[in-house]
Amino acid sequence: MISAHTAQRNVWRPLWQLPSRAELIFSLAKRDLLARYKGSVLGLVWALLTPVVMIAIFTFIFAGVFGARFGPNHTNWDYALYLFCGLVPWTMFQDTVQLSASAIVSRANLVKRVVFPLETLPVAQAFSSLGNQLFATVALLLAAAIARHRVPVTVLWFPVVLIPQLLLTLGAAWLIASLGVFLRDIVQGVSLLLMAWMYLTPIIYPESMVPERFQRFINLNPFTPLVRSYRRIFLDGFAPDWGGLAYFTAVAIVVFIFGYWWFARTRKNFADVI
């Protein structure tokens, strides 16, 4: 008989072993990232072209038609930069969560291998999306340098905001990957949830446009302070919003711990369901 303490320790052991599996994780992430564009003419250029097209559409509709404005100069260039800055972390999170919904089901052959560390699959998915984010971040810095002729030194705070973002993404990826095994409709449900979440986050519109009575709900959204901090360090030349970032980090840690715990406790049933 295995004691409760030993069983609990076994649940968390794979988490502590993740650093030793870094080579496997990065190999899976690289393969996934390259597979997205394999056979296409433009290849990895799509990682930059897709957000550029999205930004152009949103800028035309919201800045050109509806007159939404970001930044000190209130120009369309300001709007495009602030929009790009908000989409960079959001797109990484969204892609990871959406693709994690089928991360386990699509690799049924690995599920039946008792020795394979399944917890690395959602992690590899997150790092694959992180690769896309890094490409987009370079493009953001180039766009800021061209439009404003400078890049603020506060971009050095980037790792500080990226680490809690990665914690939240990993926790959500583990949770959704597990739910995707038992609830096959989770793919469609997650897409709807993420679409609503994006529009409830001040990404395509400034926080100043939100009516006072809804400000509390917008600030409860953990992605609001993350997006705010991204804009502060990349465009405004300020340090992150420390209070908001602390709130986001607390939420990220809770999601990270719960997401992994749920994945570890349910993984023993994956083979039976698949």
Backbone angle region of 228, left / alpha / beta, with phi > 0 → left and psi within -120 to 50 → alpha: alpha
Grade residue 8 by pLDDT with cuts at 50, 70 and 90: low
Concatenating the DSSP letter of every residue in 225-241 gives HHHHHHHIIIII-----
* Residue count (the chain): 274
Query: Biggest alpha carbon distance in the chain?
Result: 69
pLDDT of 229 reads: 96
- pLDDT at residue 5 above 60? no
Query: CA 211 to CA 149: how far, in whole Å?
Result: 34
Higher pLDDT, 161 or 214: 161
Grade residue 1 by pLDDT with cuts at 50, 70 and 90: very low
Concatenating the DSSP letter of every residue in 115-165 gives TS-TTHHHHHHHHHHHHHHHHHHHHHHHHHHHHHS---GGGGGHHHHHHHH
Grade residue 179 by pLDDT with cuts at 50, 70 and 90: very high
Higher pLDDT, 243 or 37: 243
Rg (CA), the chain: 20
- pLDDT at residue 199 above 60? yes
- pLDDT at residue 135 above 80? yes
Tens of pLDDT, residue by residue over 54-73, are 777 777 776 666 666 776 76
**CB neighbour list of residue 30: distance below 8 Å, 6 or more residues apart:** 128, 131
Q: How far is CA 196 from CA 53, 192, 268, in A?
A: 21, 6, 33
